[in-house]
Amino acid sequence: MAEIIQKDGTWVFDGDALRLTPGRDKNVSLFRKTLGELVVPLGALAGISFEQGKKAGRLRLRLRDGADPLLLASGGRLTEPHDPYQLIVESDRYGVAEYFTDEVRNALLLDQVPPDPVDAYLLPGPSVPLSVSAGDGTASFDGERIRLEWNWKTEDAKAAAGARVIGLTDVTAVEWHPAVGLENGHLRFTVRNAPTKAPPKYDPNAVELWGFKKDPLMALVAAAVQARLPHPAAADVRRPDPEDSRTPLPAAAEDDHDALLRRLRELGELHRTCVLTDEEFTLAKQAILKRM
């Protein structure tokens, strides 16, 4: 087991997963404190790095694309204070951080975790029910329904219709944008059969954000909804139809999971005995992992 404890938080790696706990220091953001502890399975990782600085360093995790609904819903726009996959490391703990990094990297190599994108969420997203007030409204989500309620700062045209309730089955997409410079941010839900080009200020399916302290918390609502929507990478996958001759038939028995694992072991042996070059081994391994 590897562990690093800092004011910014505590990271623990047990060989199978990383447990990321935010610190209680006053400099830890409200977003990270509200999000709470994260458990990241090793299979969700694409890499880890440690960057040294003059006064402090930084541990960074890189997740595989599509593994985390939070990163997907926020589009990677969480700024540094709110990013749960970064940890500030004090200079007297650089040695511990380097050891931690090596342990995670070695586990990724031993488990042959590919850095490729995934077609299913490997993290569960924030728990529900969840309710956040920021900008011109309050967004609540109970796992099945989204409720948007407006405050006195909401534009009359949007507030006139009253509170908005959206069923999860009617949502096709969700996105969170932070306020940047003079441009306001938003939490927006794309609703089936109701396309709109209206700015968030007037869109009844969006909460406008103005760059205040609680704005990042809206990303939690976005992530909770995203985690319960079909994964974007799997949305276009066509299910086999036995009556449609154009649909590829299921793979033969030798392509089952156990057979693919055996093939991986055989490739590893061929690589170790120099029958396969590094490039040939990598290409063959990637092909098998995709079929798995």
The least confident of 66-70, 226-230, 278-282 is 278-282
pLDDT: which is higher, 73 or 241: 73
**Is pLDDT above 90 for 22?**
yes
Contacts with 267 (C-beta within 8 Å, 6 or more apart), sequence order:
276, 281, 284, 285, 288
Task: Specify the pLDDT at position 239.
Answer: 47
**Is pLDDT above 80 for 229?**
yes
**Is pLDDT above 90 for 279?**
no
Residues facing residue 47 across a β-bridge: 62
The least confident of 201-210, 224-233, 238-247 is 238-247
Mean pLDDT rounded to a whole number for the chain: 87
Query: What would the mean pLDDT of 82-91 be, rounded to a whole number?
Result: 96
Task: Specify the pLDDT at position 141.
Answer: 98
204 near 164, Cβ under 8 Å?
yes
Query: What would the mean pLDDT of 91-98 be, rounded to a whole number?
Result: 96
Local confidence band at 247 (pLDDT 50, 70, 90 cut-offs): very low
Distance between first and last Cα of the chain: 29
Long-range residue pairs from 189-196, CB within 8 A, at least 24 positions apart, any chain: 189/146, 189/225, 191/166
**Is pLDDT above 80 for 234?**
no
Task: Specify the pLDDT at position 193.
Answer: 87
Query: What would the mean pLDDT of 220-244 be, rounded to a whole number?
Result: 76
Local confidence band at 84 (pLDDT 50, 70, 90 cut-offs): very high
Residue 234 and residue 17: Cα distance in Å, rounded?
Answer: 25
Task: Specify the pLDDT at position 251.
Answer: 45
Local confidence band at 246 (pLDDT 50, 70, 90 cut-offs): very low
Task: Specify the pLDDT at position 269.
Answer: 65
Residue 147 and residue 115: Cα distance in Å, rounded?
Answer: 37
Query: What would the mean pLDDT of 96-113 be, rounded to a whole number?
Result: 96
**Is pLDDT above 60 for 112?**
yes
Per residue in 156-195, pLDDT (tens digit) is 989 998 999 999 999 999 999 999 888 999 999 999 988 7
